[in-house]
């Protein structure tokens, strides 16, 4: 069994927390796991990527190109930037809320979120798209977008553990004061996906 997950987002979105939670859930499920994260320099509003490699045995922490089974995109442009890692038939779950970098505002680069979303739909027709940031905001704090995305992916059957197993691992790890809002965001996203499926 092997399962490679790439999480892409912007510094400050909780990409590292998401990869840690997936790592902990893997250990609870008696699987080996290795991760690689971007820490420090890139986090200052920069592009952040985590590689999470789960399985019966794991090798180096970086997923080879074309081998990721799942891309979790906390931000659409970052999801697309990392699509060369996706294997044919791989899945994607993407937060549609775009974060426009300062380089765009000062005219040094461009960002057309609609174009990016359209690209995802074309290249990965089964991609799960949701505004996780809005959903988290509705749940009480936009920062719980990572919990929402994890809930959606788990409910869609995209992860090697169930939504219940994943939440159990999350509950053990999240700080007490943040559990309620994260749980709400996680469950709201999961229910949304169950409703779409039915």
Partner 1 sequence: MSKTQFLMGNEAIAFGAIEAGVNIATGYPGTPSSEVLETIAHYADQYGIYAEWSINEKVALETAIGAAYAGAKAIATMKQVGLNVASDPLLSLSYIGVKGALVIMVADDPGPHSSQTEQDTRAFAHFANIPVLDPSTPQEAHDMAIWAFELSHKMQTPVILRTTTRVSHGCSDVIVGDLKPVPWDIEGFTKNARWTIFPKLTAQRHPWLEELQQKLSDIFSSSAFNRISGNGCIGIIASGIAYKCVEEILKNLDICVKVFKVGTPYPFPERKALEFLEGLEYAIAVEELDPHIEHQLLQIIGRYNLPVKVYGKEDGTFPKWGEYNVDIVKSGLQKAFSAIGFDGHTGNHQPTVQPQQLPPLPVRQPTLCAGCMHRTVFYAFKRAFANVPAVFSGDIGCYTLGNAEPLNMVDTCLCMGAGISIAAGLQHVQPDVKHVAFIGDSTFFHSGIPAIINAVYNGADITVAVLDNRTTAMTGHQPHPGIGVTATGKPAKAIDIAAIARSCGVELVKSVDAQDLTACIAAAKEAAEFHGPAVLVFRGPCINLEKTGKQYEIDEQECTLCNYCVEQLGCPAISLTDGVPEIQSTCGGCGLCAQICPVNAIVLKEDRS
List contacts with partner 1 (CB under 8 A): 10-12, 19-20, 23-24, 26-27, 32-47, 58-62, 64-67, 77-78, 80-81, 83-90, 100-106, 108-112, 115-116, 119, 123-124, 142
Question: Quick one: CA dihedral 10, 16, 18, 23, positive or negative?
Answer: positive
Which one, 139 or 155, has the nearer CB to partner 1? 139
Q: How far is the CB of 162 from partner 1 (least distance, A)?
A: 19
DSSP 3-state percent helix, strand, coil across the chain (nearest 5):
50, 20, 30
Q: How far is the CB of 112 from partner 1 (least distance, A)?
A: 8
Which one, 59 or 194, has the nearer CB to partner 1? 59
The Cα–Cα gap between 173 and 21 comes to 7
All residues at 6 or more sequence positions from 26 whose CB lies less than 8 Å from its CB, including other chains: 32, 33, 52, 54, 160, 161
**Residues 124, 128, 178, CA angle at the centre, nearest 5°?**
140
Which one, 171 or 194, has the nearer CB to partner 1? 171
Q: How far is the CB of 111 from partner 1 (least distance, A)?
A: 4
Which one, 43 or 191, has the nearer CB to partner 1? 43
The CA-to-CA distance between both ends of the chain, in Å, stands at 29
Q: How far is the CB of 156 from partner 1 (least distance, A)?
A: 18
């Amino acid at each position: 069994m092997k399962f490679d997950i790439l999480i892409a987002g912007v510094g400050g979105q909780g990409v590292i927390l998401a990869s840690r939670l997936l790592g902990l859930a893997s250990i609870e499920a008696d699987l080996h796991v290795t991760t690689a994260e971007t820490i420090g320099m890139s986090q200052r509003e920069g592009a952040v990527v985590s590689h999470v490699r789960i399985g019966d045995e794991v090798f180096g922490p970086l997923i080879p190109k074309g081998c990721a089974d799942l891309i979790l995109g906390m931000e659409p442009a970052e999801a697309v930037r990392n699509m060369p890692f996706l294997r044919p038939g791989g899945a994607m779950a993407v937060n549609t809320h775009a974060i426009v970098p300062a380089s765009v505002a000062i005219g040094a680069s461009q960002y057309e979120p609609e174009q990016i979303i359209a690209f995802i739909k074309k290249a990965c027709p089964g991609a799960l798209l949701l505004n996780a940031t809005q959903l988290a905001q509705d749940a009480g704090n936009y920062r719980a977008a990572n919990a929402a995305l994890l809930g959606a992916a788990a409910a869609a059957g995209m992860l090697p553990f169930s939504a219940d197993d994943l939440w159990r691992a999350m509950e053990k790890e999240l700080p007490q004061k943040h559990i309620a809002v994260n749980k709400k965001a996680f469950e709201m996203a999961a229910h949304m996906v169950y409703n779409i499926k039915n």
